[in-house]
Amino acid sequence: MDLVDVHCHLTTYSAGELDEVIKRIEAEMSLVVTSGITPADNLKSLEIARNSEKILVTFGLNPVSLGRDEKLFDEYLEAVYANSKVVSGIGEVGLDYYWEKEESRRAKQREFFPRFIDLARELGKPLIVHSRSAMKDTLAILERHTPDKFFIHSFRGSPSQARKLVDLGGFISLSTAMVRFPRDYTKLINSVPLEYILTETDAPYLAPRKGEQNYPWNVRESIAFIAQVLDQDMEDVAKQVYKNAISMFGMV
């Protein structure tokens, strides 16, 4: 079965465990995208991606850190341009009002978000959007300033917000937390066509079961869940989600 995890953080595993994780990715997965969140984490992620043809890397910048220290942006830009041939996407970037309560710093996040959108467009790469407790403002920016290719990772908005994103040409990426919150996710899955849905883990976070560490291959449980909601064959769902990921990351 074609299993894809379009958003995880492989840098959080210990070196010993990482070898095992990569082996299992090689054996069981079709595509895994690991996303960096700091300048150092981006470079570490890049090194990991070099170990496997199945692992792509994207360079991101934590919105909370950027809102507090805008000098990070120039350092980020430099690293993206220097590695633009091997970086497969811009993100995760976006807005985080959960960890940032201060309005002037939230405003800084909003000021920089369009610059990442411009960068993704300029480089012809997808934008991986992080939006936490900030969906209204995220959507407002994306409406005014629409990227060519993008998805919101670990989407937890409403069905109507999901439809709005799809109208803008965006995809929604649903995490393995769907197994824990079946009612919310059933509504979301039914609110947009399968052609706009991606699967992710956000590993090591958002595991199917509370308190556990998450792993990329757990997306198998998401595929089973989606298949059940849509009353479709797991194979067919997996194939479509894989197709969606391939078109997002421009591999066709």
Binding site for Zn ion (CB under 5 A): 202
Q: Which two tokens stand for residue 78?
A: 């430099």
Question: Coil, strand, or helix at residue 6?
Answer: strand
Least separation in angstroms between CB 7 and Zn ion = 6
Least separation in angstroms between CB 250 and Zn ion = 21
CB 100 within 8 A of CB 131: no
State how far the Cα of 120 lies from the Cα of 127, in Å rounded to an integer: 6
CB 73 within 8 A of CB 115: yes
Which one, 173 or 244, has the nearer CB to Zn ion?
A: 173
Which one, 237 or 245, has the nearer CB to Zn ion?
A: 245
Which one, 155 or 240, has the nearer CB to Zn ion?
A: 155
CB 181 within 8 A of CB 207: no
Which one, 34 or 240, has the nearer CB to Zn ion?
A: 34
Least separation in angstroms between CB 200 and Zn ion = 8
Least separation in angstroms between CB 203 and Zn ion = 9
For the chain, the residue count is 252
Least separation in angstroms between CB 70 and Zn ion = 21
Which one, 48 or 237, has the nearer CB to Zn ion?
A: 48
Cα angle 98-99-103, degrees, rounded to a multiple of 5: 80
**Which residues are CB-neighbours of 74 under 8 A, at least 6 positions away?**
none
- Let me know how many helices (H) and strands (E) the chain has, helices first: 10, 8
